[in-house]
Amino acid sequence: MLAAFSAPLPGAAGARQELRQQYDPIIQACARQFNVPADLIHSIIRAESAYDSAAVSPKGAVGLMQIMPETATQYGVADSFDPAENIKGGVKYLKDLIKLFNGNTAKVLAAYNAGQEALKKFHGIPPYAETREYIRRVMASYPKPFITGGVPIRKFVDASGQHVFTNDPYYHLNGRKNRD
């Protein structure tokens, strides 16, 4: 009987996929801006809120990326329920954690879930069951042990012969539009 209540609702996966697609342009833009892999951002949102922009945790974390009010303030998020602001603030925080933990995925995720102080206190990933399960869930869809830049740097020679380095995959198309 209890299994009926915990089973996913029919169509829930389809609805989640629609929400994923709805937020993907914001996620892709933040991934490019902060050089954080979009797949990682999606994995965190899926684990944190299942793409529910109105989600609020018992501990007070809010929105898609479940950012705490103090973190929201620190990263300039005025409205944590606004998907674009929430994702941008969460990705900025994530970028700082990636730098702090040298891209070690498990440590970055542990810090995102339990806080940086917990990692300092335990000299690594804390023994919290919730945090270890969180790491497992996120890494099930983002299995890379290290987080590298989310967007590759491209090099090409433009029409004037200058060498161009960019992380914008559409740079050459945008330049062509401006020339036409």
pTM over 0.85: no
pLDDT in tens, 120-140: 999 999 999 999 999 999 999
Per-residue pLDDT reduced to its tens digit, 146-165: 998 755 667 778 888 988 87
Which residues is 67 bridged to in the sheet?
62
Per-residue pLDDT band for 167 (boundaries 50, 70, 90) equals: low
- Collect all residues with Cβ–Cβ distance below 8 Å to 131 and sequence separation of at least 6: 110, 113, 114, 118, 125
* Strand, helix or coil for residue 97: helix
Cα–Cα dist 149/146, whole Å: 10
Q: What is the mean pLDDT of the chain?
A: 87
- Residue 168 pLDDT > 90: no
Domains of the chain: 12-147 (1.10.530.10), 150-180 (no CATH)
132: amino acid identity, one letter: R
CA atoms within 13 A on the CB side of 141: 14
Annotated active-site residue in 18, 48, 85, 117: 48
Residue 98 scores a pLDDT above 50: yes
Q: What are the Cα distances from residue 42, in Å, to 27, 123, 132? A: 8, 28, 19
pLDDT of residue 6: 37
pLDDT at 1 over 50: no
Is 48 a catalytic site residue?
Answer: yes
Q: How far apart are CA 100 and CA 94, in angstroms?
A: 10
